């Protein structure tokens, strides 16, 4: 009994939309949506340009860093809330730990 069994090689790959990571593609999708809601071609073009610029900027920042760099950056720079608070880690405003 032989069956072709698919064995994934990479289990912890980040989510992707097409060829792009989700954190790079999300600004483009969001700004395209905002531009569509604006109702004018000029505003759509401006929003599309801003979304593409922002996604390229994010891609350059995380080029040689860890895959979860965006999540780490958001944890340390956004205010804590019940949605983002983690129980096993200290709050993000505590920068210096002893021990």
Over the stretch 36-70, which tens digit does the pLDDT of each residue have?
Answer: 999 899 999 999 999 999 999 988 888 888 877 88
For 21, the enclosing helix (H) or strand (E) is strand 20-21
CA angle 57/66/15 to nearest 5° reads 75
Judge contact between 23 and 58, C-beta under 8 A.
yes
Q: What is the pLDDT of residue 64?
A: 85
Residue the block writes with tokens 């000029």 = 42
pLDDT at 22 over 80: yes
Q: What is the pLDDT of residue 46?
A: 96
Q: What is the pLDDT of residue 90?
A: 65
Closest-CA residue to 22 (of 76, 62, 80)? 62
Judge contact between 70 and 23, C-beta under 8 A.
yes
pLDDT category of residue 32 using cuts at 50, 70 and 90:
very high
Closest-CA residue to 73 (of 34, 83, 82, 84)? 84
The encoded tokens of residue 82 equal 């019940």
Q: What is the pLDDT of residue 43?
A: 93
């Amino acid at each position: 009994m032989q069956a072709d069994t698919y064995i994934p090689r990479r289990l912890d790959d980040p989510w992707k939309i097409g060829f792009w990571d989700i954190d790079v593609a999300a600004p483009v999708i969001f700004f395209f949506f905002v531009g569509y809601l604006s109702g004018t071609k000029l505003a759509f073009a401006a929003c599309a340009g801003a979304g593409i610029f922002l996604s390229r900027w994010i891609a350059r920042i995380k080029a040689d860093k860890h895959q979860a760099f965006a999540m780490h950056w958001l944890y340390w720079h956004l205010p804590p809330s019940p949605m983002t608070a983690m129980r096993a880690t200290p709050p993000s405003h505590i920068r210096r730990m002893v021990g």
